[in-house]
Amino acid sequence: MRSGLVSGEINQENEAILGIVPDVSVVVPVRDEVESLPLLLEAIASTLSACQLNYEIICVDDGSTDGSAKFLKEQAQIRNDLKAVILRRNYGQTAAMAAGFNYALGKAIVTLDADLQNDPADIPMLLAKLEEGYDLVSGWRQKRQDGAFNRLLPSKIANWLIRRTTSVNIHDYGCSLKAYRAELTADMNLYGELHRFLPALAYIEGARITEMPVRHHARRFGQSKYGLSRTFRVLMDLLTILFMKKFLTRPMHVFGLLGLTSIIAGALIGVYLTFVKLAWHENIGNRPLLILAVLLLVTGVQLFCFGLLAELLMRTYHESQGRPIYRVREVVAKNVK
């Protein structure tokens, strides 16, 4: 592997031309973890070298202010196994993860945090499980070393809610230690803060998913960058995942159904008020039902139009990128070579 700071796509093209394809790429989002990085890099290198794997480490600095970026750049110039991807500012963990996926060249991709709470010694175990035919192996921190109120309780609630909503039976969505097949990450586009829902996104792409227990250590340096403040963002992203899972290729089914329901309800109320007016000669101008009928009719038309617009957007999304609405795992035929 060539040493030096990776600063553009041309470097990836050069490595592809040289035919260097690592067995595994380890992606590490970094935010103010300068004290942990030397120990982390050494632990990853010693673990994967002992397994005789051809590997690369991709550290993505997400706007650190403690010297992490400087350390990574220095190490990338002297180490053959390290790529340092330095983002221009703090974009968030999802963007850092996406950047790592984009620069990864390995056949398999492993992600983990830079704070030493994930154990690099578990990586070979995840890769072995991946070889059993799975597309994603997620770590499960059964014995978490975090605070009960600000980390464990919100995490348990979020994991339960995500499992019930997405139907993906993963106990620990928040564990960053995961192993992926490279072709799976190529199919997943990350936005917002969707890194927490990678198993759910993989499920939408038709991936085979499993999980296995991994070790978890108490934080040795610094403080956690996350707390109760992320709860609202998780709920909003969960609604996005739910919509993508059920209606990504057919948004008219949700907006159209709601629109038609609203129109029918408004029409029925309108028919009733018309009967009251004509048959019983009662004044309906001051009735709240009249306002409700008009509101339902207008809302129904708007929702139906939203459904049509969403259908056009989804068609543009898939056709402009050449993304099929299906994923093929393999093609088996006697005469296919």
204-222 residue pLDDT tens:
888 999 999 999 888 887 6
Q: Indicate the average pLDDT of the chain.
A: 83
Q: Is the pLDDT of residue 281 over 90?
A: no
Rounded to an integer, the average pLDDT of 37-47 is 95
DSSP classification of residue 101: H
**Together in a domain, 242 and 295:** no
Is residue 2 in a domain? no
User: Of 23, 2, 27, which Cα lies nearest the Cα of 13?
Assistant: 2
Q: Greater confidence, 298 or 238?
A: 298
**Together in a domain, 85 and 217:** yes
216 — phi, psi (to 5°)?
-140, 130
**Together in a domain, 229 and 275:** no
**Together in a domain, 57 and 103:** yes
Domain that holds residue 304: 252-321
**Together in a domain, 70 and 204:** yes
Under the banding of pLDDT at 50, 70 and 90, the label for residue 180 is: very high
Query: Distances from the Cα of 156 to the Cαs of 140, 150, 192, in angstroms?
Result: 12, 11, 22
**Together in a domain, 216 and 231:** yes
Residue 230: the pLDDT is 61
Residue 229: the pLDDT is 55
Is residue 73 in a domain? yes
**Together in a domain, 84 and 26:** yes
CATH number of the domain bearing residue 47: 3.90.550.10
Is residue 330 in a domain? no
Is residue 333 in a domain? no
Identify whether the C-beta of residue 16 lies closer than 8 Å to the C-beta of residue 102.
no
Is residue 170 in a domain? yes
Residue 9: the pLDDT is 42
Tens-digit pLDDT profile for residues 85-129: 999 998 888 889 999 999 999 999 999 999 999 999 999 999 999
Is residue 293 in a domain? yes
Q: Long-range CB contacts (< 8 A, 24+ apart) of 151-154?
A: 151/224, 151/226, 151/227, 154/228, 154/231
**Together in a domain, 275 and 235:** no
Residue 236: the pLDDT is 75
Q: What is the pTM of this model?
A: 0.74
**Together in a domain, 86 and 229:** yes
**Together in a domain, 307 and 169:** no
179 — phi, psi (to 5°)?
-120, 135
Is residue 286 in a domain? yes
Query: DSSP characters for 224-266?
Result: -S--GGGHHHHHHHHHHHHHHHHHSS-THHHHHHHHHHHHHHH
Number of domain units in the chain: 2
Rounded to an integer, the average pLDDT of 255-283 is 91
Token digits for 125?
Answer: 């175990």
